[in-house]
Amino acid sequence: MNAMLIFYLIVLFFAFALLLIYLFCRFARVYRTLSSGKREFVGYVWKWSRTYIIYDGIPFFFADRIGFIDQNKNIYLKSENSQYNFVETQYGSVTDDGLISDTNNNAMASCDSIGTSSRRTVVTDASGNEIAFAKTGLRKGDDLLIRAAATGALCALNSEKDKALRADVRIGFKDLALPSALIFMLLFVPLALLGYDTSILSFLGSEISYISYMLLAYAFICWTLYFIKKCMTMRNRSMVYFLGLVDRNIGLTAWNIIIIVLSGLLSLASLFICNYTLFPLFLVLFLGFVINLGCFKDEWKVVDPCSSWGPKWGGSRRAGQAPKAHVLGTLEVVYSWVPVLEAKGIAHANEEVVLTFNESDFDPSAGRVRRANPFAEGPVMSHDELKSKAKTVMKGSDGPENDERKALVAIVNSAYQICQRYSLADFELYDLILMFCQYNIEYHDDKECDTIGNVEEYFRFAAETLVDRKGDCDCKSILAYKIFEVLGVNVDLALVKSNSTEYNHVGLVLHKDSTSVVPIPPSYHQYSRGLIYCETTGEAFAPGEVPPGIDIDTIQLIK
């Protein structure tokens, strides 16, 4: 038995298995509808006998279970508990007529009218907006369709914080077309040599047999990459993200168009003018680059790393460089980028940034900055008073010398220079700034800090946090807010509930909109209202990552 026969048998086996699944298995695809109107794939609901199991893909092809529906039509989905273990938690339930309720039996949404001939349905909320969509395979049924639609609705209606914890189900083939075509090009010669043995499909003719074999080989490469992406290293990140990163920072627009035109012409020439041997190569390249164009909407262009931020702000140095002469009464604060760069896995030259302030401004009893802070006036008596004082702190503490502004500009410029020096992408400046606040500002509760009088609640000015080198969640978040503000990013401070019924935590949010100087990448998880939550306490929480206990649905923006 030769290699070509083995290859055909494998391909035929998978094709036959897929056909059997489609003809005889009962399943439904589940989608939730985003606020933009786009339908996002959630998974499959499979019916085995009288049991309904939710998978993130086809269970015969290495899919993972992400939930189930019990006999009482209660829907359970995978989430993370307080011990950081993955468990299947009840999200809600559904009735036979399509009424969807939460765990407290409060009606939340309903399916559209469903008949015995239906193979698809949508779910609408109380305002009539579509929030979920489901469709069955060849073997339809109201029971399966209703359960699948309810699963999508509960995914859409429940807290977005679970999105990062559930299995990533972006498993389409669209972003695999180009990588597969490039691999096919590298393997073309040995594959072509095997393809000349036409005994398997000789009844079709040597040309058709050879071409069909080569196209099946390309499909097999796609499936192999699918397996790697779905089950191994690419488990939690779409390859579209990496292809987009390459396109944004190298620039492939013109090359794509040139290759598409040339490969299209050469495939026609090899089929009708020259020998057909090279036809599969040019056809696969043509398909790969055409499909690749559909992965991205923005115009591609050649750019230098981190070039889109525009102006240079000024004020940083490498460790070992001579500092400026010290001026009497000037307070110098040196911050190192070493922990940030090491956390990102970057070999570095001990980068640091030096900030200067007027020392007398930060005297605990008489300093201008300390006296200007509204939280020094006395205890905070209400939630509204807290927000009012926070807005004052967010405006900054600058005096005639603009020391705070100069310090923030120095941090931004230092991060910008690091991006240039180590060839980081535009969007990685977001990471550097957030990590600067996470790693360089030591977490201390207000009551433990003598410099602010050990008060119960105190939001520091950004300058205070930089001078003290410590602070709690609100101090670190205001510092990050002010740095992003200097950078020109659309950002807001956010009050949020953390393992509590009261607002007891502060973070910040980036707005994913057209005003962003540099587009926020798809790897940053987007939550309700187009917000990217940023956590400044702890370490290594990237933009969009939400720590356990944070109730993302309780966000209140402070503007």
- φ, ψ of residue 170 to 5 degrees: the values are -80, 85
pLDDT value at residue 328: 52
pLDDT-based confidence at residue 164 (cuts at 50, 70, 90): very low
β 470-471/39-48 pair status: unpaired
The residue ranking higher by pLDDT, 431 or 400, is: 431
CA-atom Rg of the chain in angstroms = 29
Q: What is the pLDDT of residues 308-342, one digit of tens each?
A: 665 555 444 554 454 454 455 788 999 999 999 88
pLDDT value at residue 301: 45
- How would you class 262 by CB atoms within 10 Å of its CB: exposed for 0-12, middle for 13-18, buried for 19 or more? middle
Can you tell me which residue has the tokens 């309720």? 101
State whether residue 97 is helix, strand or coil: coil
pLDDT value at residue 535: 93
Asked if 147 contacts 73 with a C-beta cutoff of 8 angstroms, the reply is yes
pLDDT value at residue 436: 94
Helices (H) and strands (E) in the chain, counts: 15, 19
pLDDT-based confidence at residue 389 (cuts at 50, 70, 90): very high
Q: What percent of the chain has pLDDT above 70?
A: 77
pLDDT-based confidence at residue 396 (cuts at 50, 70, 90): very high
**Average pLDDT value over all residues in the chain:** 78
Listed residue (117, 136, 111) closest to 46, CA to CA: 136
pTM above 0.85, yes or no: no
Q: How far apart are CA 131 and CA 122, in angstroms?
A: 8
pLDDT value at residue 254: 62
For the record, the structure tokens of 552 come out as 């993302």
Q: How far apart are CA 387 and CA 16, in angstroms?
A: 63
Q: What is the pLDDT of residues 409-457, one digit of tens each?
A: 999 989 888 888 887 877 888 889 999 999 999 999 988 888 888 888 9
pLDDT value at residue 223: 80
The residue ranking higher by pLDDT, 306 or 103, is: 103
- Rounded mean pLDDT, 509-524: 74
Cα 55 versus chain centre, distance: 21
Q: What is the pLDDT of residues 104-163, one digit of tens each?
A: 888 888 887 666 567 888 888 877 888 888 888 878 788 888 888 888 888 887 754 444
Say which range, 146-150, 251-255, 476-480, 525-529, has the weakest mean pLDDT.
251-255
For the record, the structure tokens of 44 come out as 């499959």
Per-residue pLDDT for 39 more than 60? yes
- Rounded mean pLDDT, 534-545: 86
Q: What is the pLDDT of residues 264-281, one digit of tens each?
A: 888 888 877 767 788 888
Per-residue pLDDT for 463 more than 70? yes
Per-residue pLDDT for 297 more than 50? no
State whether residue 411 is helix, strand or coil: helix
Q: How far apart are CA 137 and CA 548, in angstroms?
A: 37
pLDDT-based confidence at residue 240 (cuts at 50, 70, 90): low
Per-residue pLDDT for 244 more than 60? no
pLDDT value at residue 144: 86
Per-residue pLDDT for 207 more than 60? yes
The residue ranking higher by pLDDT, 360 or 304, is: 360
pLDDT value at residue 476: 95
Per-residue pLDDT for 215 more than 60? yes
Per-residue pLDDT for 355 more than 80? yes
